[in-house]
Amino acid sequence: MQTYKAYKYRVVPTLEQTKKIEGTFAARRFVWNHFLERTTKAYKRRGERISMFDCFTTLTRMKEYKPWLKIYDITALRFAIKDLYEARDDFFRRVKQGEKPGYPKFKSKKNHEQSFTTDGVIYVDDECIKIPKIGRVRYRNRSGLGIKGEPVEATVSRTASGRYFISVCCKVEVEPIPAVDAQIGLDVGIKDFATDSNGLHYENPKYLAASLKKLARERRGLSRKVKGSINYEKQRLKIAKLHERIRNRRNTHHHQLSRKLVGENQVIVVEKLNIEGMKRNRKLSKAIGDAAWGEFIRQLEYKAYWSGRTLVKVPTFYPSSQTCSDCGFKNADVKNLRVRKWECPDCGATHDRDENAAKNILNKGREMLLAV
């Protein structure tokens, strides 16, 4: 089966290459901001819709009176326009669905995280990756696993801590892993990160919560520094590296657990979560963000696809916690999150809240598969 797979590495550019990368970030911001303003004004003043092709043509003409744009990779600048149109299309799509999304915003160099994408000619060897207009950039491959397949595009990014990374998207052939008979339902939560229909509970590591005291201390230190000073920048980098470490540890946890579940089960059933809606609960929003269920389910989805597994998402408002998995009785009292164990008033069965929900999710997923 042919699919796309991305390989991400940390790159170590030279001083000259760093200047070129930073220049490309700036050129991309300029192109995004220029065409965001141009398309928005054209629509508001004249009701005119400018096509993406027209923007590409305008960008080519702009190089005549803004010759500095010629220094940078044209495909990277065109990707800025493509990303802008994707953001606009997503905005209008969500408005039609009755949501209230934010309109695309202007890019600022004050944002410490920057990136650009190119689909120009990309060469990869054991030590370097050749990027158009930047040259051969050394990358770190500590895992020893090389890039497989045909490189299609590459995204160079800079994190808030000042580290540079490259993600190379390749067209590859993937082979499904041997089939198994096991099926599983997963109920995600805060007390336990997840509970499956077999009664197994997976611990929630709560990496952000464990680092809150240290983060608060470092932020107090930042507040005492003069903004714009060298010491201020040093302290800002400290905080950025701490956030990066939290994110990396969380990603490692999600990758390990998702790979384990995909390897052991042929069918995995999860809930389709409205995470943004759940975050409106101020008491739980920080814990929900720390758990990052959306990223975990995203990893389950693509790993299941690569491995020949089936991932089923049951509807958002399916009452998995309130329904007795033995007789189907719906107990509205279980809406209260403090109820961790309950007895069914109809059949007398005793349930652990999360285990019962996981069993119901699996049963609903099986019904959905049979209905297809």
- Write down the H helix ranges in the chain: 15-46, 52-65, 74-96, 207-223, 230-264, 275-278, 285-291, 293-307, 353-371
Cα–Cα distance measured from residue 263 to residue 81, given in angstroms and rounded to the nearest whole number: 40
Are 25 and 113 a contacting pair, CB within 8 Å? no
Coil vs helix vs strand at 144: coil
Cα–Cα distance measured from residue 223 to residue 161, given in angstroms and rounded to the nearest whole number: 18
Give yes or no: 271 in active site: yes
Region of 144 on the Ramachandran plot (φ > 0 left; ψ -120 to 50 alpha; else beta): left
Look at the alpha carbons of 221, 224, 226, 227 in this order and tell me if their dihedral is positive or negative: positive
Give me 77's structure tokens: 């600048």
Q: For the chain, what's the residue count? A: 372
Cα–Cα distance measured from residue 254 to residue 119, given in angstroms and rounded to the nearest whole number: 29
Give yes or no: 203 in active site: no
Query: Of these residues, 73, 271, 290, 355, which one is catalytic?
Result: 271
Are 323 and 330 a contacting pair, CB within 8 Å? yes
Coil vs helix vs strand at 74: helix
Give yes or no: 187 in active site: yes
- Amino acid in position 346: D
Cα–Cα distance measured from residue 219 to residue 221, given in angstroms and rounded to the nearest whole number: 5
Give me 162's structure tokens: 């000042």
Query: Of these residues, 187, 196, 290, 355, which one is catalytic?
Result: 187
Active-site positions?
Answer: 187, 271, 354
